[in-house]
Structure 1
Amino acid sequence: MRRLLRGLLSIIGVAILAMQPSLANSPCSGRKGGISHCQGSTFVCNDGSVSASKKNCTAYLGGSSSRALGLMDSENSNMVPSGNPGDCSCRSGQYCIGPRGGHYCFTDSGAKSYLRN
């Protein structure tokens, strides 16, 4: 009986360890609605915000995510500072610089989404 219990516990332990990586959050998960496309190494989410993930978007999605969505050559260009302070849409690939040096862009709803340093 003890052998059976010990064997069962070891199988459960291995199953739990195997599931650990799949339990991690993915970029743009939850209310962000998933990944829309890549802007260089930055994830642009379906709600128009950017993800603070430290993962590289093009590496995470296999390097061809933007092209599949019809956004020609946008996957290779990182987000750039906007020349016009009002044109900082996350989807456009441009960001604004705040008074204290923070980099942000605007989501589809008009909220600020800060880029990771």
Structure 2
Amino acid sequence: MKSRMMSLFAVVFVVMPISQAQAKNTPCSGKMGGVSHCSKDGKFVCKNGKISQSKKTCH
């Protein structure tokens, strides 16, 4: 039983940082509220009204 619990904790600690890193690498993540729409010049407009600093472009 202890080995199963240890395996579960190991999986949680390995997966958790990956998902946090992915969240930080998406346009308009966190306090920006997510992507609202794309501007005419291909920039991400966030739900809070600000333009994302992302180097990626949207269509």
Moved over 3 A (4+): none
What is the identity percentage for the equivalent residue pairs of Structure 1 and Structure 2?
Answer: 11
CA RMSD of aligned residues (A): 3.4
Q: Is the 8 A contact 2:27 2:44 kept in 1?
A: no
Q: Could you tell me which runs of 5 or more consecutive residues in structure 2 were left unpaired when the two chains were aligned.
A: none
Q: Which amino acid aligns with 1:21?
A: A
Task: Give how far 1:35 is off.
Answer: 2.6
Looking at secondary structure, tell me which structure has more strand per residue.
Answer: 1
Q: Which residue of 1 aligns with 2:22?
A: 22
Q: Could you tell me which runs of 5 or more consecutive residues in structure 1 were left unpaired when the two chains were aligned.
A: 69-117
Looking at secondary structure, tell me which structure has more helix per residue.
Answer: 2
Q: Is the 8 A contact 1:32 1:45 kept in 2?
A: yes
Q: Is the 8 A contact 2:37 2:45 kept in 1?
A: yes
Q: Select the structure of larger CA radius of gyration.
A: 1
Q: Deviations over 1:9-68 (max 9, x none)?
A: 0011112122112322523853771332436xxx36288x65152x32xxx13xxx5xx5
- Alignment of 1:33 with 2:36, yes or no, is yes
TM-score after normalising by structure 2:
0.52
